[in-house]
């Protein structure tokens, strides 16, 4: 069968791209589509095995490389221009727009949904506030565009034959927004490349892109009030300088680090601190694969990946006091690195690829019988 893989966009190597990499490992003969593709040669080799991507007209628009999201209002039109009529099977990887490709009745379309588009639904008001778009003419226009996006998002959900969610949390969100049930298949985590380390050092660690919803500022402020505890922070992003300026002497900033250095800190840390509300959250799972417990915000996908009191500690609010209380409570407990490592084996890359392959083959066999 001829297959197409449609992804929202390619510009970085994040969690969604790790899913794409596994899809390519399962089915190396996909033809690839996305709104834009600005991957580096190295990332293209890792994610797409060096394959080319057929992109939309947005690829050629001025400033698309630096900020493709400014063209949000034309995303639906752009994704609908892909002609996929020659393919028997379409797999979309979508947290925004990819699921909206147009297919016909002789094609099976399965969507691996990382989330319904967050900025139009769950994060709508937060997005407007953080972008300064909750008032004035620009704000009115932004709200109009997002209103249109919500309408299109509902309509285009009917183009998907089967939804696969990356967590129970996202399956509930899919049902809330689209009124569609979803099969849950947890995303791939390369647990084999994160080695168990039993001997932990006396510091806490966090790593993230420095953007508002990751809440790194809250973690830094919490450790500012615990000067006897050392925090190491890895990652870069728009908020890096702002967060670094508020940090006290017990907090060390590494900036962007290589995968090897990241792994070394994850392995050695007393605990990994995570304050974002994530749909799944691959990095906390990677930390646990090192035998490192997680102190994390107890909402979203983290409730499915971190076992309170066994592989880490949950805190109830995204606040400085809540993080401080969790750290103090964490230090009253004992954790076994081997048990922590064992708790995340079910999220392995090998498991994901087997589950996904079996699911697609089952649904395709049912589809063929109906034709």
Q: Residue 284 is part of a domain; what is its CATH number?
A: 3.40.50.2000
* Tokens found for residue 209: 């892109």
Question: How does pLDDT run across 97-106, given as a tens digit for each residue?
Answer: 999 999 999 9
The reply to whether 184 and 43 lie within a common domain is: yes
Burial of 168 (0-12, 13-18, 19+ CB in 10 A): middle
One domain for residues 336 and 362: no
Q: Which residues of 110-121 are buried (b: 16+ CB within 10 A; e: fewer)?
A: bbbbbbbbbbbb
Taking the C-alpha atoms of residue 326 and residue 307, their distance in angstroms, rounded to an integer, is 14
Residue 13, CB half-sphere, CA atoms under 13 Å: how many? 13
Of 45, 180, 177, the closest CA to residue 117 belongs to 177
Q: List, in order, residues 6 or more apart from 16 with CB less than 8 Å away.
A: 7, 8, 93, 95, 114
Do 258 and 240 have their domain in common? yes
- The number of folded domains in the chain is 2
Residue 196's pLDDT is 94
Q: Which domain holds residue 296?
A: 191-347
Share of the chain above pLDDT 70, in %: 100
At residue 131, the pLDDT reads 78
Question: pLDDT for 140-149, tens place per residue?
Answer: 998 999 999 9
Torsion of CA 153, 156, 160, 165, to 10 degrees: -10
Interval 41-64 mean pLDDT: 94
Domain identity same for 66 and 165: yes
Here the tokens at position 156 are 């285009």
Whether residues 107 and 256 fall in one domain: no
- Stretch among 138-142, 227-231, 295-299 having the lowest mean pLDDT: 138-142
User: Looking at beta carbons, which pairs linking 48-53 to residues 24 or more positions away fall under 8 Å?
Assistant: 48/10, 48/20, 48/21, 48/24, 49/24, 51/24, 53/7, 53/10
Longest dimension (CA), the chain: 67
CA distance 308 to 315: 10
pLDDT, average across residues 36-48? 93
| pLDDT at position 281 | 86
Q: What is the pLDDT of residues 237-275, one digit of tens each?
A: 889 999 999 999 999 999 999 989 999 999 999 999 999
| pLDDT at residue 371 in the model | 65
Regarding whether 366 and 317 lie in a shared domain, the answer is no
pTM tops 0.75, yes or no: yes
Give Rg (Cα) of the chain. 21
**Cα–Cα distance for residue pair 256/253, rounded to 1 Å:** 9
Mean pLDDT of the chain: 94
104 lies in the same domain as 147: yes
> What mean pLDDT do residues 55-80 have?
94
Same domain, yes or no, for 112 and 225? no
Q: Using 50, 70 and 90 to split pLDDT, how confident is the model at 230?
A: very high
Average pLDDT over residues 44-69: 93
Token output for 186: 């947890």
Q: At what angle do helices 320-330 and 216-224 cross, to 10 degrees?
A: 70
Mean of pLDDT values over 176-202: 94
Contacts of 121 (CB under 8 A, 6+ apart): 150, 153, 173, 177
Residues 171 and 251 grouped into a single domain? no
Phi, psi for residue 179 in degrees, rounded to 5: 55, 40
Portion of the chain with pLDDT greater than 90, in percent = 83
From CA 101, how far away is CA 110, in angstroms rounded? 11
| CATH number of the domain within which 358 lies | 3.40.50
Whether residues 52 and 142 fall in one domain: yes
pLDDT score, position 13: 86
pLDDT at 8: 97
- Shared domain for 163 and 28, answered yes or no, is yes
Q: In this structure, are 9 and 136 located in the same domain?
A: yes
CA distance 111 to 89: 11
Whether the per-residue pLDDT at 130 is higher than 80: the answer is: no
Closest of 49, 288, 294, 303 to residue 191, by C-alpha: 288
């Amino acid at each position: 069968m001829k297959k197409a893989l449609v992804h929202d966009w390619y510009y970085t190597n994040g969690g969604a791209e790790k899913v794409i990499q596994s899809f390519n490992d399962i089915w190396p003969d996909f033809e690839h589509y996305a709104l834009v593709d600005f991957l580096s040669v190295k990332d293209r080799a890792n994610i797409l095995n060096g394959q080319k991507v057929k992109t939309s007209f947005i690829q050629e628009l001025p400033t698309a490389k630096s900020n493709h999201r400014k063209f949000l209002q034309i995303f639906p039109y752009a994704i609908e221009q892909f002609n996929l009529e020659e393919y028997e099977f379409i797999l979309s990887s979508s947290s925004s727009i990819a699921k909206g490709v147009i297919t016909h009745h002789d094609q099976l379309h399965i969507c691996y949904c990382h989330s319904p588009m967050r900025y139009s639904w769950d994060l709508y008001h937060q997005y407007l506030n953080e972008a300064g778009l909750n008032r004035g003419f620009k704000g009115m226009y932004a709200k109009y565009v997002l209103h249109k996006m919500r309408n299109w998002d509902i309509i285009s959900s009917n183009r998907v034959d089967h939804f696969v969610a990356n967590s129970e949390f996202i399956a509930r969100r899919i049902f809330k927004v689209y009124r569609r049930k979803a099969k849950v298949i947890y995303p791939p985590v390369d647990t084999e490349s994160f080695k168990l380390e039993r001997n932990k050092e006396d510091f806490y660690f966090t790593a993230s892109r420095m953007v508002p919803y990751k809440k790194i500022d809250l973690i830094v402020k919490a450790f500012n009030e615990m000067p006897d505890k050392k925090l190491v922070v890895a990652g870069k992003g728009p908020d890096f300088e702002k967060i670094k300026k508020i940090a006290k002497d017990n907090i060390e900033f590494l900036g962007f680090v290589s995968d090897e250095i990241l792994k070394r800190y994850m392995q050695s840390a007393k605990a990994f601190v995570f304050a974002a509300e994530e749909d799944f959250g691959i990095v906390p799972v990677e930390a646990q694969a090192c035998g490192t417990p997680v102190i994390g915000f107890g909402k979203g996908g983290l409730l499915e990946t971190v076992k309170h009191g066994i592989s880490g500690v949950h805190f109830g609010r995204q606040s400085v006091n809540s993080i401080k209380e969790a750290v103090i409570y964490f230090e009253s407990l004992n954790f076994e690195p081997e048990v922590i490592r064992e708790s995340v084996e079910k999220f392995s890359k090998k498991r994901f690829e087997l589950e996904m392959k079996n699911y697609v083959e089952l649904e395709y066999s049912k589809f063929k019988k109906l034709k």
